[in-house]
Structure 1
Amino acid sequence: MVHRAPKIAVIYYSTYGHVHTLAKEIAKGAKEAGAEVKLFQIPETFTDDILKKMGAAPRANDPVITIEELQEYDGYLFGFPTRYGRAVAQVSAFFDRTGGIWAKGALIRKFAGVFTSTASQHGGQETTALTTIPFFAHHGIIYVPIGYASPDLTNMDEIIGGSAYGASTLAKGDGSRQVSELELRIAKHQGETFTQVVGQYVR
């Protein structure tokens, strides 16, 4: 019997580049674990003028995901910064546009995970994942946490992002802190373990 590779979409929204950095590492881990992976961006809702005033990083070259394309993948790893412990408005707007495929049950038995970026240690590292789970539940999408299989998640030698719910980074209030090596390792681990779970289902 020929087994196909699981198809995984790494779908992200990144303001200052931190989530994009995590997304690339997660995609790397997923590919090394045997997945067919594609990076996508969440559609922007801000104008160029607003983004410039915010000091946002230039948009990456990855394509913007469409609602219809969600149906083509076995699993999704969603990455986005937090706003008050939940997904940013751009992500909420994208989720709100999925009513048509929800009515068809098009995403039932798909898989999803979450990764994020916060300004501080206690700025939504876990709640951002938790407040996204209702979207998955309403679509019948199976949420896959990373647990504590990665020893880096219990590292006490430095301040790091990441939790049992998914990889994350701490960007500082002004976005000046960059993703650390430990956070990159956790992100890669998430891509690998997510692929293993989805791959079992696909097989």
Structure 2
Amino acid sequence: MTEILVLYYSHGGSVRDMAKLIARGVSSVAGAQARLRTVPRISANHEATEPDIPGSGDPYVELADLKECAALALGSPTRFGNMAAPLKYFLDGTSSLWLDGALIGKPAAVFTSTGSLHGGQESTLLSMMLPLLHHGMLLLGLPYSEPALLNTSTGGTPYGASHLAGTMDDKAISTDEKALCIALGKRLAETALKLKQSS
């Protein structure tokens, strides 16, 4: 099986829910399966504030997960138009993979959730792309051939999947947002398999 790593940080649960939808899209492709991983919260002085092993939910990511995966979907809530600190902190510790070229040529995609419609969805997606470009990954977005991208009135961008959670009410993921998450996972898995077959 070709493993696709779906790595995320989620504070309120929306990004976690998106990760599960992306994993569903990955699993819809024959020969592909998703490996869901998360990162722990950190304090202001960059120390983990959670136990080494989560009490529930997905396991914490290890560098080996990145090395072993055939592709990566990376997700984070927006923090002032940027990825959240816990995810950035983890990515800052991937220099050994960069030195080894472990991620070069692997496809990647990004996803996010924001509190407001113009709360930095696209800039957050772009901020997550930057370290992936430095790692030599091949970035995938969502083409406008996806009908939901033209119909959505909440989240959804050509840069990657996104969700409008709202500032107080934590809105459910809309039908269009769900379709785009699943489409992104499917596209990522299909691309990883094509690259694997051509090598």
Q: Sequence identity, in percent?
A: 36
Q: Which residue of 1 aligns with 2:100?
A: 104
RMSD between aligned residues: 1.7
How far 1:174 sits from its partner (Å)? Answer: 2.2
Deviations 1:19-64 (A, max 9, x none): 111111110111011212111112321436xxxxxxxxx9751111
TM-score normalised over the length of structure 1: 0.87
Give 1:83's match in structure 2, choosing from 79, 82, 92: 79
Q: Which residue of 2 aligns with 1:195?
A: 189
Matches within 5 A, 1:126-137: 126-137=122-133
User: The residue matched to 1:195 in structure 2 has which SS?
Assistant: helix
Distance 2:171 2:98 in 1: 38
Give 1:165's match in structure 2, choosing from 159, 170, 190: 159
Kindly indicate whether the alpha-carbon contact (under 8 Å) linking 2:5 and 2:65 is maintained by their aligned counterparts in 1. no
Stretches of structure 2 lacking an aligned partner (at least 5 in a row): 44-48
Q: Which residue of 2 aligns with 1:92?
A: 88
Stretches of structure 1 lacking an aligned partner (at least 5 in a row): 49-57
How far 1:175 sits from its partner (Å)? Answer: 4.8
Q: Which residue of 1 aligns with 2:142?
A: 146
How far 1:150 sits from its partner (Å)? Answer: 1.1
How far 1:144 sits from its partner (Å)? Answer: 1.0
When the two structures are aligned, how many residues end up with a matched partner? Answer: 188
Q: Which residue of 2 aligns with 1:24?
A: 20
Kindly indicate whether the alpha-carbon contact (under 8 Å) linking 1:145 and 1:165 is maintained by their aligned counterparts in 2. yes
Q: Which residue identity does 1:40 align to in structure 2?
A: R
Q: Which residue identity does 1:89 align to in structure 2?
A: A
Deviations 1:75-100 (A, max 9, x none): 01011101111111011100100011
